[in-house]
Amino acid sequence: MRLLRPGAITEIVGRSSSGRTSLFTACLGEATAAGGVAALVDADETFDPASAARAGVDLARLLWVRCAGRRDAALRATDLLVRCPGFALVGLDLGEAAPPLPPAAAFRLKFAVERMGAALVIVGRRRVAGAGASLVVETVRAGLEWAGPGPVPTRLALLVAAAAAERCEPALREGALAVVTPAAHAKILEANAAARAGGVGPGMTETEARARCPALVSRPWVDAHVAAARAALLEAALGVSPRVEDAGAGVVHVDAAGLERLHGSPAALGAHLLGQARRVG
């Protein structure tokens, strides 16, 4: 299925954390990797350039329009951009509060993209373009079916699983990685950023994931690896403050009271914590 349809409107809709942003980021990466210029109208200023760059977006070919929560300004900016020649893709991220477009506005955008040939991708919680959209993709966060022994891992524990595997095999950081269940028909538990950019997400079967991302490397959930990663995280935190709490599932609380006197500004404190994390791997 091709999402970038020149001269047409595509809507990517779904709840928060359903993968809609990852899918849209993959569209930006595809457009800029092909040498095209893209524009993103960001209604709520939620775009993360660093994460997008890691996912393959060429930021030098991206115009980022920040609208500070003003959806009227976002719609006006989109209306102007789709009429400008030279854009392969124009994206409009309306976030959680996505108001439906008046039919006249939706068809005005439709006629504009048809005339200029750009692909317009609208991202949000729900559909807004009505009949003006030629394709609607709904992203859904699938539930996990845990087939391994022992208790079901929590979502936070899953988030650290891919990082734990990368820590044990640093070469895995260079490509797409997924942590899978030990079942005969393995399912994805967690995926790193490169795998997510390739369309891989929790809940899908390993076969489906490999069809979307042929370069995918999979590793099983290993309790010892996750435990070692948690211990390393705790060690990194103790390198910054003597007052820490292991909250489990890859979360450590650090009491930062008074640490600015020792490490300087909050930015310096953050840099020191990052340095400790790198030291322990």
Same domain, yes or no: 17 and 93: yes
Among residues 120, 97, 126, the alpha carbon closest in space to that of 18 is found at 126
Q: Highest mean pLDDT: which of 57-71, 208-222, 267-281? A: 57-71
Percentage of the chain beyond pLDDT 90 is 28
| Measured distance CA(254)–CA(192) in Å, rounded | 25
For 92-96, 147-151, 277-281, which range has the lowest pLDDT when averaged over its residues? 147-151
Give the burial class of 272: count Cβ atoms within 10 A of its Cβ; 0-12 exposed, 13-18 middle, 19 or more buried: middle
CATH code for the domain in which residue 174 is found: 3.40.1170.60
**Domain end point (choices 172, 205, 221):** 221
**Domain end point (choices 94, 113, 139):** 139
What's the number of domains the chain is made of? 3
What are the distances in angstroms from CA 151 to CA 65, 147, 181?
A: 45, 10, 13
Same domain, yes or no: 205 and 233: no
Same domain, yes or no: 46 and 168: no
The single-letter DSSP state of residue 205 is B
pLDDT given for residue 155 in this prediction: 44
Through-space distance between the first and last CA atoms of the chain, rounded to whole angstroms: 39
Query: For residue 3, is pLDDT > 70?
Result: no
What 3-state class would DSSP assign to 20? helix
Please report whether residue 144 resides in a domain. Answer: no
Same domain, yes or no: 24 and 132: yes
40 strand-pairing partners: 64, 91
| Measured distance CA(82)–CA(24) in Å, rounded | 17
Please report whether residue 147 resides in a domain. Answer: no
Range of the domain at 123: 9-139
Q: Is the dihedral of CA 108, 114, 115, 118 positive or negative?
A: positive
Please report whether residue 80 resides in a domain. Answer: yes
Please report whether residue 161 resides in a domain. Answer: yes
CATH code for the domain in which residue 23 is found: 3.40.50.300
Residues 81-104, mean pLDDT to the nearest whole number: 90
Which position has the higher pLDDT, 231 or 173? 173
Same domain, yes or no: 133 and 15: yes
Same domain, yes or no: 206 and 115: no
Same domain, yes or no: 21 and 121: yes
Same domain, yes or no: 132 and 167: no
Same domain, yes or no: 113 and 13: yes
Please report whether residue 146 resides in a domain. Answer: no
Please report whether residue 145 resides in a domain. Answer: no
Q: Highest mean pLDDT: which of 20-24, 153-157, 254-258, 268-272? A: 20-24
Please report whether residue 19 resides in a domain. Answer: yes
**Domain end point (choices 139, 165, 192):** 139
Please report whether residue 44 resides in a domain. Answer: yes
Q: Highest mean pLDDT: which of 37-46, 218-227, 246-255? A: 37-46
Among residues 167, 172, 101, 160, the alpha carbon closest in space to that of 130 is found at 101
Same domain, yes or no: 70 and 162: no
In which residue are the tokens 């893709």 written? 89
Same domain, yes or no: 246 and 184: no
Among residues 206, 271, 273, the alpha carbon closest in space to that of 235 is found at 273
